[in-house]
Structure 1
Amino acid sequence: METRDADELCALDATDLARRLRAREISARDVVDAHLDRIDRVNPQVNAIITLDAEGARAAAKAADDGPVTGPLHGLPIAFKDTHDTAGMRTTYGSPLHADNVPAEDELVVARIRAAGAIRIGKTNVPEFAAGSHTFNTLFGATRNPYDRGRSAGGSSGGAAASLAARLQPIADGSDLGGSLRNPAAFCNVVGFRPTPGRVPALPSDNLWDPLGTSGPMGRTVADVALLFSAIAGPDPRAPLSLETPGDAFRTVTEIDLRGLRVAWSPTLGGLPIDPAVSAVLAAAPTVFTELGALVEEATPDLSEAEFAFRTLRANAFDVGFGASFDERPDAFKPALAWNIEQGRALTRSDVGRAVAAHSRVYQAGIRFFDEYDVLLAPVTQVVPFDVDDEYPREIAGEEMHSYLDWMRAAYHVTTLGAPAISVPAGFTPEGLPVGLQIVTKPRSDLFTLQVASAFEAATHHGRRTPTF
């Protein structure tokens, strides 16, 4: 396949590709070959895909062409996040402890995507154990931003976001505890959707009652995200928090009228430091909603206890999840992750109990807020993409950042609301760096979130600006 023809296929939206594949207008073999060709040429510049099975992908594409249409993702290539277990394919979690780990089974989100007809081509890069919103590790190195290869692609789904922006795959899976779907999407000018916890059941899991983490979809458009979301959402009786709505309910994002919509614009989410470059880009977002007929005013939910609740529950989870491995091989953990585990160990039972109660109060405050407003708009990230060689930003708007978590508050404070939140391309700085807008709606209103995001996307078209290779 000629380079131009391959790039044209790779540039198509996932919804367009999926429609043509299901109608047999194009072959899965051509689509997979086009993406493998582009990966070969472009991936060395961004380091987004770190494991590749070209032979297996081509065999699966042939089977897709020779057999029946298997689902809404029929023939679409996908590289799975390297924290999501894939049967028979190396899954490292970005850690040297698991450099040779090959799971025996797909985890649920992977199994659902493959059952919907997608073709596995490889894995995308992550920070060690998905800790932090900058994608680098000692196994594979750093993932670079397609819009500026000297900058971070964000994380922890940084390989996923960068591969989408670079047109290495049409859809991508990710996960989000404190911003890992939203932050890299904002950095890479793609769409990252954190659904209501329970929409995408987490299996297997050592904590089936986790109220903070969730898997979710990424894409270059809201419609692409909805397509993938429809394949991974839906109940599972083994997951006690899973929600009953079937995934098919989210496949089509119908147009809605925003006239009269009550929109809260929170430019600092209650006083967080925001890089002036981010604020300058996002200043146009409320006007877009006003021009679409919405009623916009500045307002912020009560997030005063979000910091304590999130940081405490996260640290406790890190101790429980990684403590035993850390005791055996402390040298195998990056310093920031070791620090976070130690933070968890320093907690008392009372600390954890108070954090659960604080989280409950934040959630209830959010419910009251969304009784008054239909939509919350806020920054996704507090900074523009930073130097790829820096572990994290050391200051924002003159305020010192003391840890690798501090600069992520705009995302993880929203996590504590238990609400669906999406990052949508919102524009670029004068230097050409992407900025994302965070759109949040009340818990369980996931389709509405997608509809509002789609309306903003249609009015602005920022996601159509592509990186140059």
Structure 2
Amino acid sequence: MPATQAAELIRKRELSPVTYVDAVLAAIEKTQPTVNAYVTVTADAARAEARAAEQAVMDRQKLGPLHGVPVNIKDLFPTAGVLTTYGSAIHADTVPAEDDVLVSRLKAAGAIMVGKSTTPEFGHNGHTTGPAFGMTRNPWNLDRTAGGSSGGCGAAAAAGLTPIGLGTDGAGSIRLPAAACGVVGLKPTTGLLPYEQTSDSFFNYAVAGPLTRTIADAALMTETIAGPSPLDPWSLGAPRQEPFGARPANLSGTRIGFLSGLGKPADDVAANTQACLKAFEGMGAIVEEAGADIDWMAEQARTMYFGNLNVYFGHHLAEWRDKMDPLLVHWIGLGQGFGTVEFRKAQLARSRLYRSIQKLFERYDFLVSPTLQETAITFDRTKDMTGSWADGWNACVYPFNQTGNPALTVPSGFGRDGLPTALQIVGPWWRDMEVLRVGAALESVRPWAHKRPPLAAGL
């Protein structure tokens, strides 16, 4: 059930928050041995909050927009009184005293946290595996990756183990699992949602964002938690967003640039992408190929990514190396090989990429590409020590972390193997709600939320 529908039914006293939370917890318990979407389940606290939520409804108190709706929180966000491991043995016993600002806003809106969803160690990998918890599996096929690093969020949304989840995205970590699991994932404009957890506030390219089954749920969650925080300088200049429901999507005359040179998709992904482009044209949009001459700075992005991993986590190696994820250790080692000049040149390449994308938006209203170039890969392929960068796994997504543009992934169909494929929709800075409206237009003619994994259909 979408969060928007559940919240409405709860307000009308047609759905009990207690019944709803119990159902979600039962589904989590049933799927933990297979999907493994959670590292911590807060069942007792969730049931207590559900009882309080139900009493608030009966007492006709003022209710928040997510009142009584279960949510999962990626285990990179501090949660007061609840174990927060960051996917690492280093924090196996860490229990924060305070919630992250976004967690606080979700709770203030009435959402009920049912647990902490899995993440690879410190969110470093595009596949959600790790020594601390094992593998998070794709609900569509348990032999395939759920993506990462917000893999627990993506798997939970696909399998019905909460309608909404709070994830993070530093090089595709919301969009990769959303695409792999056949759900919606929004990487907002940098600063639209304050992200207080980054180590470097000013050089940041990571954001927080929603993973949901429907566009309306992603919009509701984004509207609910958007707003500045004094701890995130990027958020201080964020303009107020027009409400998602203020006007319907109108694609007549909308100019869409198809980034045909961004990656080399498999035939089934390419076919589903073309079907989406034709759907846009059927709604009046003008679609053209775009960006053929852009340098997507893949090598420089690796330099910054691995270099930052070394700066942020390299100091743990002396004590914790043997208990850390071998891939993270390997990537930290790669980061140790970069000098200041090489790192600074990579930063300058980021500025060039940003300006190239800005130039495209002088001609186009939105840009689109496949999200992933193939369906979710098998676990044996995730063991390649090049990790997320293997086979161009995140080739289509990382550029928009570097440029800061809002980037939405939505299901585009299914591949030959029966697994989901996905389309990425990118907009100008601060046009997040308009990006979501374009996604809603596609959802209206190519719906996806009613299609559920066989594993979830039996819950």
Match of 1:200 among 183, 186, 193: 193
Match of 2:303 among 283, 301, 312: 312
Call closer, same or farther: CA 1:245–1:403 in 2, change over 3 Å: closer
Q: Structure 2 CA distance, aligned partners of 1:138 and 1:403?
A: 15
- Paired amino acid for 1:51: T
Deviations 1:57-112 (A, max 9, x none): 11111111223344111111112111111111111111122222211211122111
Equivalences for 1:109-124 in 2 at 5 Å?
A: 109-124=102-117
| 1:125 alignment counterpart | 118
| 1:136 alignment counterpart | 129
Equivalences for 1:275-294 in 2 at 5 Å?
A: 275-294=266-285
Call closer, same or farther: CA 1:424–1:253 in 2, change over 3 Å: farther
Call closer, same or farther: CA 1:250–1:139 in 2, change over 3 Å: farther
Deviations 1:182-209 (A, max 9, x none): 0111111100000000011112443111
1:442 Cα offset (Å)? 1.1
1:327 Cα offset (Å)? 2.8
Length, aligned pairs only: 449
- Paired amino acid for 1:133: G
Deviations 1:303-338 (A, max 9, x none): 415223422222222112101112322222222211
Q: Structure 2 CA distance, aligned partners of 1:302 and 1:174?
A: 32
Answer whether contact 1:303 1:413 (CA < 8 A) is retained: no
Q: Secondary structure at the match of 1:320?
A: helix
1:38 Cα offset (Å)? 1.8
| 2:256 alignment counterpart | 263
| 1:7 alignment counterpart | none
Q: Secondary structure at the match of 1:293?
A: coil
| 2:33 alignment counterpart | 44
Equivalences for 1:196-275 in 2 at 5 Å?
A: 196-245=189-238, 249-252=242-245, 254-269=247-262, 272-275=263-266
Q: Structure 2 CA distance, aligned partners of 1:50 and 1:184?
A: 17
Q: Secondary structure at the match of 2:250?
A: coil
Q: Structure 2 CA distance, aligned partners of 1:251 and 1:259?
A: 18
Answer whether contact 2:149 2:173 (CA < 8 A) is retained: yes
Unaligned runs of 5+ residues in structure 1 are 1-11, 395-400
Q: TM-score, normalised by structure 2?
A: 0.93
Answer whether contact 1:150 1:387 (CA < 8 A) is retained: yes
Deviations 1:255-278 (A, max 9, x none): 121011111112341xx3323332
Pairing 1:89–2:82 present: yes
- Paired amino acid for 1:27: S
Answer whether contact 1:381 1:436 (CA < 8 A) is retained: yes
- CA RMSD, aligned part only? 1.9
Equivalences for 1:252-401 in 2 at 5 Å?
A: 252=245, 254-269=247-262, 272-300=263-291, 303-391=294-382
Deviations 1:326-374 (A, max 9, x none): 2322222222211221222222221222122111111111111111111
Call closer, same or farther: CA 1:23–1:48 in 2, change over 3 Å: same
Q: Secondary structure at the match of 1:45?
A: coil
1:294 Cα offset (Å)? 0.6
Unaligned runs of 5+ residues in structure 2 are none
- Paired amino acid for 2:23: A
Q: Secondary structure at the match of 1:336?
A: helix
1:160 Cα offset (Å)? 0.6
Q: Secondary structure at the match of 2:233?
A: coil
- Paired amino acid for 2:125: G
Q: Structure 1 CA distance, aligned partners of 2:323 and 2:268?
A: 37
Call closer, same or farther: CA 1:302–1:314 in 2, change over 3 Å: farther
1:244 Cα offset (Å)? 4.6
1:45 Cα offset (Å)? 2.5
Call closer, same or farther: CA 1:49–1:439 in 2, change over 3 Å: same
- Paired amino acid for 2:11: R
Q: TM-score, normalised by structure 1?
A: 0.91
